[in-house]
Amino acid sequence: MKKSAISVLLSFVGIALVLGLWAAISSIVSPDLPSPFKTWEDSRLYILQPWEKRGEMDQGIGLMTAYSLFRVAKGFALAVLIGTPLGFLLGSSTMFFRMFDPTIQILRPISPLAWLPLGLILFRQSEPAALFTIALCSMWPTVVNTMQGVRAIPQDYHNVAKVLRLSPWRKFTKILLPATLPYMFSGYRLSLGIAWLVIVAAEMLTGTPGVGGFLWQEYNSLIYSHILLCILTIGIVGFILDRLMGFAETRLRAA
């Protein structure tokens, strides 16, 4: 109990130090950077009335975050729905692995900024283009982790399936799926992290309402303190998402 109290205290000390550094930079190095206090002053309307809608690009931070989260949820769901079966196929078939692994290794490092224009060409609308980008960028950890999970299944379990004469479907539901589940969830956690990274870029480029879109528009309107508001929001939401997935992951490993 005492130890955890100290670690909470220390984390606040850390935050205070970073705020101090921020204040110092804004007052000494770059006067264009709003100080923490100015950021709060300019942003309080958005924070204290988070669900207020004053215009298409002038909404409370809660609404903006909700738009982004909803978009991420859709893109992430797409990534999971495509990535998981793909990972299973790659993990269970050597032929399939040899056929597609090089392609995947090439597609994996491509930045969302590169995918987005392609999405716009394909779908001619910003929303599906954003989902396409999120799904395509965040899919790979799910694919790779699921694949590794399937490969890590001990030969003994495969032998058990042979000895018990399990049907392919029974083998999948009773052996492959449960054995791979912890790996899959590690993949999902990483994928969600990437999806949240990608959302900002996608919204910036498409100019859709959301934290990323808001950030870009406020940069263009020269309201720099709102950029900092968006950055902090993105960080905090990303942190919460990761913690939630981490919680689900530990529950799964314990079970």
Partner 1 sequence: MSFLKLHNIAKSFGQRSILHNINLSLAEGEFVSIVGASASGKTTLVKIASGLTEPDRGAVTVGGQPVRGFLLEAGMVFQNYSLLPWLSALENVRLAVEPAFSQWTPKQHTEQAMKYLEMVGLRNAALKTPGELSGGMRQRVSIARAFAAEPRMLFLDEPFGALDALTRATLQQELAQLCRAAGRPVTALMITNSVEEAILLSDRIHALGRGPGATLSPSFDVHLPRPRSAGLLLHDAEAVSLRHRLVEFLAAGALAPALIQEVA
- Cβ atoms of 56 and 207 within 8 Å: the answer is no
- Cβ atoms of 46 and 214 within 8 Å: the answer is no
Q: Which of 57, 104, 166, 231 binds partner 1 (CB under 8 A)?
A: 166
Q: Which of 106, 163, 169, 220 binds partner 1 (CB under 8 A)?
A: 163
Q: Identity (one letter) of the amino acid at 110?
A: I
Closer residue to partner 1, CB minimum distance, 10 or 152: 152
Stretch that binds partner 1, among 13-21, 33-41, 166-174, 228-236 (CB under 8 A): 166-174
- Residue 150's contacts (CB-CB under 8 Å, 6 or more residues apart) are 87, 88, 90, 91, 92, 176, 179, 180, 183
Could you say whether residue 98 binds partner 1 (CB under 8 A)?
A: no
DSSP string, 123-150: HSSHHHHHHHHHHHHHHHHHHHHHHHHH
Closer residue to partner 1, CB minimum distance, 186 or 208: 186
Could you say whether residue 174 binds partner 1 (CB under 8 A)?
A: yes
Stretch that binds partner 1, among 64-72, 109-117, 175-183, 187-195 (CB under 8 A): 175-183
Could you say whether residue 173 binds partner 1 (CB under 8 A)?
A: no
Alpha-carbon gap, residue 198 to 134, rounded angstroms: 6
Alpha-carbon gap, residue 64 to 235, rounded angstroms: 14
Q: Which of 32, 124, 165, 168 binds partner 1 (CB under 8 A)?
A: 165
CB of 163 to partner 1, least distance (A): 5
Measuring CA to CA, which residue among 30, 70, 115, 64 is closest to residue 217? Answer: 64
x-marked contacts with partner 1 along 22-61 as a string, rule CB under 8 A: ----------------------------------------
Could you say whether residue 175 binds partner 1 (CB under 8 A)?
A: yes
Could you say whether residue 124 binds partner 1 (CB under 8 A)?
A: no
Stretch that binds partner 1, among 40-48, 109-117, 157-165, 205-213 (CB under 8 A): 157-165
How many residues in the shown chain lie near partner 1 by CB under 8 A?
16
> What element of type H or E holds 50?
none
Could you say whether residue 125 binds partner 1 (CB under 8 A)?
A: no
Closer residue to partner 1, CB minimum distance, 221 or 250: 250
Distances (CA, A) of 147 to 19, 138, 203, 241: 42, 15, 31, 24
Could you say whether residue 169 binds partner 1 (CB under 8 A)?
A: no
The residue written with tokens 């003994």 in the block is 156
CB of 164 to partner 1, least distance (A): 5
User: Given the rule CB under 8 A, which residues bind partner 1?
Assistant: 156-157, 159-160, 162-167, 170, 174-175, 178-179, 255
